[in-house]
Amino acid sequence: MKTAEFDPFLLLDDFRNDRPADYQAGFPWHPHRGIETITYVLAGSVDHKDSLGNNGALGAGDVQWMTAGSGILHQEMPKGDLKGRMHGFQLWANLPSSLKMTGPRYQDIKAGEVPEVTDDDGTRVRIVCGDFWGKRGPVEGVTADPRYLDVWVPSGKRKTLPVETERHAFAYVFEGSGSFRSASQPFGVLTEKEVDGNEALVRESVGNRSLVLFDSGDEVTVQAGDEGIRFLLVSGKPIEEPVAWYGPIVMNTQAELQKAVSELRNGTFIRTG
């Protein structure tokens, strides 16, 4: 993702697989600094631990919001459900320069703590973070003040959802299909296809594994297809600062980035006080 267009968000990983041999290696020890990571599990589980002594497991419907801040070493090891299925998302949110070196912290949220609301037309929304339809998600104190929703719109239904005009917002479709229409002029993902015998970039209608970025506007409208449509709707306040990025370490300048890498190599990356 281009950081300016998605600011304050940096990366969205859709990790789904039904072949345990493909994912059992997991994500062994790796560093994080200068960002927050949001892990949302739909199927299977993820065991995690870090260099500060934290450890636990995330199950289906659970959320972990980790503020890496000044830095941690972390590992995540996925396990499939009884049918071998693993599915979840990890979103990276940037931290402003004033909080890059804040102390690390976790917010582990069990599935039952995430409020779900159902509208009269059958639309269901799980509210991970932020306010929506009179409910508030359980994740608190996140710098980008984001709204993170898991939305399901039933087959054939048309639904209009509010979006804050001063924020960057995107939708990521992960089940079913549909189309988005609103004043915000969303667009689908560009993919390569053969058109009249020639390779061309085609902007897809919105289906499974499609990401849609919204311009400024105060609402988005989605028309669900025959299977209905399920998507993440995420928005946050732009930070509008320079980004120096090296894997899971995100700072503001190359000098800060080089210092972080040097500390990682010489064993001083983790701050103890």
Q: Which amino acid is at 147?
A: R
Pairwise CA distance, residues 95 & 251, whole Å: 9
Cis omega (within 30 of 0) on the bond before 154? no
Pairwise CA distance, residues 259 & 257, whole Å: 5
How far, CA to CA in Å, does 78 sit from each of 11, 36, 39, 51? 19, 20, 12, 18
> Which residue is listed with tokens 């941690």?
72
Percent of the chain with pLDDT over 90: 54
**What does the pLDDT look like over 218-271, one tens digit per residue?**
788 899 999 999 999 999 989 999 999 998 999 999 999 999 999 999 999 987
Q: What is the pLDDT of residue 184?
A: 43
**What does the pLDDT look like over 8-29, one tens digit per residue?**
999 999 988 888 888 888 889 9
Half-sphere exposure (CA, 13 Å, Cβ side) for 253? 4
pLDDT at 97 > cutoff 90: yes
Q: What is the pLDDT of residue 197?
A: 67
CB proximity list for 226: less than 8 A, separation 6 or greater: 155, 156, 177
Cβ atoms within 10 Å, residue 113? 13
**What does the pLDDT look like over 168-207, one tens digit per residue?**
889 999 999 888 875 344 455 555 555 566 666 555 555 6
DSSP tag of 133: T
Neighbouring-strand partners of residue 48: 56, 76
Kindly state the average pLDDT of the residues 69-76. Answer: 92
Q: What is the pLDDT of residue 6?
A: 87
228 is written with which tokens?
Answer: 């209905």
The answer to whether 211 and 174 are in contact (CB under 8 A) is no
pLDDT at 127 > cutoff 60: yes
pLDDT at 1 > cutoff 70: no
Among 29-43, 80-94, 142-156, 173-187, the least confident range: 173-187
Q: How confident is the model at residue 216 (pLDDT cuts 50, 70, 90)?
A: low
Which tops the pLDDT comparison, 149 or 5?
A: 149
**What does the pLDDT look like over 46-61, one tens digit per residue?**
999 988 888 889 999 9
